[in-house]
Structure 1
Amino acid sequence: MNIVVDTHTHTLASGHAYSTIMENAAAAQRKGLQLLCNTDHAPKMPGAPHYWFFHNQIVLPRFLHEVGIIRGVEANTLNTQGEIDLFDDSFKYLDWIMASFHEPVFRPASEKEHTEALLNVIKNGKVDALGHLGNPNFKFDIETVLQCAKEHNVAIEVNNSSLTGRSRIGSDVRCDEIVRIGKEIGVYFTTGSDAHFCEDIANLDHAITLLDKYQVEPEKVITSTTSRFLNFLLLRGKPRIVEFEHLYS
């Protein structure tokens, strides 16, 4: 499967990443990406930028090194009510909003509580995708959550970093199960490198291998073409991005 969008990347602004957005974009061009999502950590993550940082992504050109730039965030799931750490006035500045569990922000609890949090994140309607769900510290009812994600058109991330054994150790088993069940249910999948250094931009081989293992149709992988990704944003109720008009079809 060919992937042309990386929907989960970090810059120096996240506090524990090591590259600038220019370096990330240059790597994206070199590796053949057409769209790059900038998804630095939202404010509750230790070391993350102030919320004005996300508003000010409007100063970013829509193209850097000939790669389209998607203004995004990796928000933190805060509680079982499904709240995330973005102010309401932030959403109008952002194209792409992911939500993830992070141990410093949401202390691992029971499977029931994790499931409740994810269901409420989905139902709150503010999040376009759920990030690195394979983390064994945050077990949840996979079938229930993925069915809800399908009903609300929320994408499920296949996080390449989770499959490398370098972070969230033990995620590979649950990621496999998530993709298997997600294929059966018919969810939308997205693919993220979770790069914290520019050379990891577009490193998606493990994610692609897992999607191919279960023969997930390209039509269900929103990062397989620019039109699928951008039209997914329209499905989510986002405004059309005029600078990307030629990438919608």
Structure 2
Amino acid sequence: MYLREPCYDIDELKKENLHIHTFYSSCAKPSMDIETIVRQAEKAGLRRIAVTDHFNDPDFPVVEYNEEMRKKVKQLGAKVDVLFGAELSAYGIGKFLDRTEINKALDYRLYSCNHYHLDYWEHPEDKTPRGYAEHALKVVEALAKSGRADCVAHPFIGRFVKIFEDRNLITNSITDNEIGDILTILKENNVAYELNAGAVIGYPEFARRIWNIGKEVGVVFHMGMDAHRPESVDTADAAENFKKILL
């Protein structure tokens, strides 16, 4: 488990990249082996990284893969702290794909709550933007209160809901009061909100609302590049974009 102290200094937050996929995630580049990732992180001057391969199949051997990589990192004499976790699936309200023993074996438990493009994901009965917003809020609340999560990955963004041409419809239908309430729930349950590179840059207005309200309620932010290729391990370029969007 890992939760940093609350911090609203992007130059400090960028010293961590807590969302990185290895080649064990089928969507990542074959070059994303653990040695390449560690060396990229060291070159970038990062203090801490998290390996978070997709856990979209209950039979995916994430613990075994993590232990294999942990041994390799020890052999490398890495100069960066490496957390071995997973991008887990909260695929419905109170529904989790990972078993308890897997959850407890992870250093870092990052959960996706909005991978609606996957065939097993729960959808709301009300398939309007507001229906999806209400459903996503309930999924995140149930996750936060479950004690299973350290951080929520790219919550609420609409790009995974393919039925809407305008991907901002879902986030636009979430009120500031609802943002304040859900971020307070995360804070009270020691769960971080991810400043995901694609989500901040792709949904700047919503990201700015999250950032400003998050500072007010004191939620913890974790930075995650959602890296699928070696050059995305470095947080520097994204951090400069974050400053333009959030500050």
Range class of TM-score, shorter chain: 0.7 to 0.9
Distance 1:78 1:134 in 2: 13
Rg larger in structure = 2
Tell me which residue corresponds to 1:58: 67
Distance 1:85 1:77 in 2: 7
User: Which 5+ residue runs of structure 1 have no aligned equivalent?
Assistant: 166-170, 216-249
Tell me which residue corresponds to 1:159: 196
User: Which 5+ residue runs of structure 2 have no aligned equivalent?
Assistant: 1-10, 125-130, 162-169
Tell me which residue corresponds to 1:247: none
Secondary structure in structure 1 of the residue aligned to 2:35: helix
Tell me which residue corresponds to 1:7: 18
- Find out whether 1:67 has 2:86 as its counterpart: no
- Find out whether 1:127 has 2:149 as its counterpart: yes
Q: Is the 8 A contact 1:55 1:93 kept in 2?
A: no
Q: Is the 8 A contact 1:55 1:90 kept in 2?
A: no
Alignment of 1:1-249 (within 5 A): 1-2=11-12, 3-18=14-29, 19-44=32-57, 50-59=59-68, 60-61=70-71, 63=74, 64=76, 65-81=78-94, 83-100=95-112, 101-105=114-118, 106=121, 109=124, 110=131, 111-133=133-155, 135-136=157-158, 137=161, 139=171, 140=174, 141-165=178-202, 171-207=203-239, 210=242
Alignment CA distance shift 1:6-1:205 (3 Å): same
Secondary structure in structure 2 of the residue aligned to 1:13: coil
Q: Which is worse superposed, 55-64 or 121-130?
A: 55-64
Report the CA distance between 1:145 and its aligned residue. Answer: 1.0
RMSD over equivalenced CA pairs, Å: 2.3
Report the CA distance between 1:203 and its aligned residue. Answer: 2.5
Distance 1:181 1:193 in 2: 22
Alignment CA distance shift 1:27-1:43 (3 Å): same
AA partner of residue 89 (structure 1)? E
Q: Which of structures 1 and 2 has the larger relative contact order (alpha carbons within 8 angstroms, sep 6+)?
A: 2
What are the Cα deviations for residues 165-220 of structure 1, in whole angstroms up to 9, with x where unaligned?
4xxxxx222111111110111101100011100111022544465468767xxxxx
Report the CA distance between 1:84 and its aligned residue. Answer: 2.1
Report the CA distance between 1:23 and its aligned residue. Answer: 1.1
What are the Cα deviations for residues 90-144 of structure 1, in whole angstroms up to 9, with x where unaligned?
1232110011121223365422211111100000010000111251355453222
Secondary structure in structure 2 of the residue aligned to 1:174: helix
AA partner of residue 202 (structure 1)? D
Q: Percent identity?
A: 25
Question: What TM-score does the superposition give when structure 1 sets the normalisation length?
Answer: 0.74
Distance 2:243 2:219 in 1: 12
Distance 2:243 2:147 in 1: 26
Report the count of equivalent residues: 205
